């Protein structure tokens, strides 16, 4: 059996036909940028997460960059974020000319509020929590810290569209929140796309301008920016997929529950608190034998992924700064492994993956493994 981590082809003919219909409408009306589908998508997404405004942009990275810019964050400012994320999170901060300050994580792979507190300085302007693997951060404590220290909160909800905590959706907590709709994400376009949400009219207005070269009325430029607009084609594709998102998340949760059951006592499986509803953007296990397990799975046709093997402060682009002390992140990044768990995977495939994980641990005692890994 061959099991890819995630296949982006669409074998289902009906699904392809629906997408082509959405594309056909856009080609017929010809408003290829900022078309009517974008507005519809924006209003769906803002309603969905309970925010007043949504601004569609070209990617999740753009969303983060513009969200920070809309708050006036820039040179001389510090933004506290996690040490474990896709590098886009740090890049968005650095490209505003602010400094990303990396904090440690807890066992749930999310920002540790205690570590955030330790990193607050006179220059800190904002906290940028990432809802990693689709699990919402400890927003209660983070919002409390932000309020006490008068900091903005920008949620990187790229992986968490549709996740909930205490009845609130990812993206509902911060001054601003950013989603990515790239093809790997749960609510995915057929290319790059992202969305920013906020309740603040002033930020919304500034975002509309920042999205298009810092212009108002198309020709008047009030501040330098980039062209970050979303293609109407991608908006139309997202709109046509929007209604399926809850079912896809339900399916991912079902897959996660199968894995939890089959892998219990073999590896550390992801946990969920009573008030959490995780989307399982990734199903991420933890084991000390991670590298050997990954190899073993590959030799049995199973593609797994380490997301992400290099902590952001350890990236060549960032490790010129003074060393960052994140002991938990350093420990956890060696243990994490994401298994194939997209909504398209079948129960038979889940059982096969789980059986291979089990066989790996049964085959060799830990001591043998330690020897063979040096
Ligand atoms: C995917 C992702 C991004 C960037 O989104 P793009 O649409 O790929 O630019 C940012 N942060 C996190 C945590 C992500 O997973």
Model pLDDT for residues 35-44, shown as the tens digit of each residue: 999 999 999 9
**CA angle, residues 191, 192, 193, in degrees to nearest 5:** 125
- The pLDDT, as a whole number, for residue 374 is 45
- The pLDDT, as a whole number, for residue 365 is 60
Number of alpha carbons in the 13 Å side-chain half-sphere of residue 79: 33
Q: Does the pLDDT at position 151 exceed 70? A: yes
* pLDDT band, residue 372 (cuts 50/70/90): low
Tens-place pLDDT, residues 177-212: 999 999 999 999 999 999 999 999 999 999 999 999
Q: Does the pLDDT at position 274 exceed 50? A: yes
- Structure letter (DSSP) for residue 132: G
Could you tell me if 305 and 5 are in contact, meaning their C-beta atoms sit under 8 angstroms apart?
Answer: yes
Q: Tokens for 357?
A: 């994980």
Give residue 149 CA to ligand 1 midpoint distance, Å: 27
- Across the range 289-300, mean pLDDT stands at 97
Nearest atom of ligand 1 to the alpha carbon of 59: 7
Output the pTM of the full model: 0.96
- C-alpha 242/C-alpha 186 separation (Å) is 10
| Cβ-defined contacts of 139-143 (< 8 Å, 24+) | 139/165, 139/173, 141/113, 142/111, 142/113, 142/116, 143/173
Nearest atom of ligand 1 to the alpha carbon of 61: 9
- C-alpha 373/C-alpha 206 separation (Å) is 54
Please state the φ and ψ torsions of residue 54, each to the nearest 5 degrees: -135, 140
Contacts of 103 (CB under 8 A, 6+ apart): 80, 81, 82, 83, 111, 112, 115, 116, 118, 119, 326
Give residue 182 CA to ligand 1 midpoint distance, Å: 8
Q: Does the pLDDT at position 363 exceed 90? A: no
- The pLDDT, as a whole number, for residue 211 is 97
Q: Which of 160, 163, 102, 109 is nearest to 127 (CA)?
A: 102
Tens-place pLDDT, residues 8-40: 999 999 999 999 999 999 999 999 999 999 999
- Across the range 120-129, mean pLDDT stands at 98
- Is 88's C-beta closer than 6 angstroms to any atom of ligand 1? yes
- Across the range 306-317, mean pLDDT stands at 95
Q: Whose CA is nearest to atom 2 of ligand 1?
A: 158
- The pLDDT, as a whole number, for residue 214 is 97
Give residue 88 CA to ligand 1 midpoint distance, Å: 6
* pLDDT band, residue 141 (cuts 50/70/90): very high
- Is 307's C-beta closer than 6 angstroms to any atom of ligand 1? no
- The pLDDT, as a whole number, for residue 137 is 98
- The pLDDT, as a whole number, for residue 98 is 98
- The pLDDT, as a whole number, for residue 318 is 93
Q: Does the pLDDT at position 339 exceed 90? A: yes
Kind plus residue range of the DSSP H or E element containing 338? strand 336-339
């Amino acid at each position: 059996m061959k099991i890819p981590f995630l296949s982006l082809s669409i074998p289902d003919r009906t699904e392809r036909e629906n997408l082509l219909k959405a594309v056909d409408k856009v080609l017929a009306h010809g408003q290829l940028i900022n078309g009517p589908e974008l507005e519809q998508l924006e209003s769906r997404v803002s309603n969905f997460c309970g925010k007043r405004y949504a601004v569609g942009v070209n990617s999740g990275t753009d969303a983060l960059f513009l969200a920070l810019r809309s708050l006036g964050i820039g040179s001389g400012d510090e933004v506290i974020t996690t040490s474990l994320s896709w590098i886009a999170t740090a890049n968005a901060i650095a490209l505003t000319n602010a400094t990303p300050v990396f904090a440690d994580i807890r066992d749930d792979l999310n920002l540790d509020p205690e570590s955030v507190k330790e990193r607050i300085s006179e220059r800190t302007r904002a906290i940028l929590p990432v809802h990693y693997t689709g699990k919402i951060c400890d927003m209660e404590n983070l919002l409390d810290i932000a309020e006490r220290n008068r900091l903005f909160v920008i949620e990187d909800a790229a992986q968490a569209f549709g996740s909930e905590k205490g009845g609130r959706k990812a993206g509902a907590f911060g001054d601003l929140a950013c989603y990515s709709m790239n093809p790997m994400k749960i609510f995915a376009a057929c290319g790059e796309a992202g969305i920013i949400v906020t309740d603040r009219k002033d930020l919304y207005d500034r975002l509309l301008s920042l999205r298009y070269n810092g212009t108002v009325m198309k020709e008047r430029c009030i501040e330098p920016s980039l062209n970050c607009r979303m293609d109407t084609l991608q908006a139309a594709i997202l709109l046509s997929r929007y209604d399926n998102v809850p079912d896809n998340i339900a399916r991912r949760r079902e897959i996660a529950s199968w894995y939890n059951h089959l892998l219990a006592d073999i590896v550390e499986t992801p946990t969920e608190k009573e008030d959490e509803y995780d989307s399982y953007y990734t199903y991420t296990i933890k084991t000390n034998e991670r590298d050997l397990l990954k190899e073993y799975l590959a030799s049995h046709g199973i593609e797994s992924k380490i997301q992400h093997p290099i902590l952001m402060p350890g990236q060549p682009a960032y490790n010129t700064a003074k060393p960052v002390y994140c002991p938990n992140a350093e420990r956890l990044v060696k243990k994490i492994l994401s298994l194939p768990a997209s909504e398209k995977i079948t129960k038979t495939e889940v059982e096969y993956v789980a059986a291979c994980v089990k066989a790996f641990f049964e085959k060799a005692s830990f001591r043998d493994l330690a020897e063979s890994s040096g």
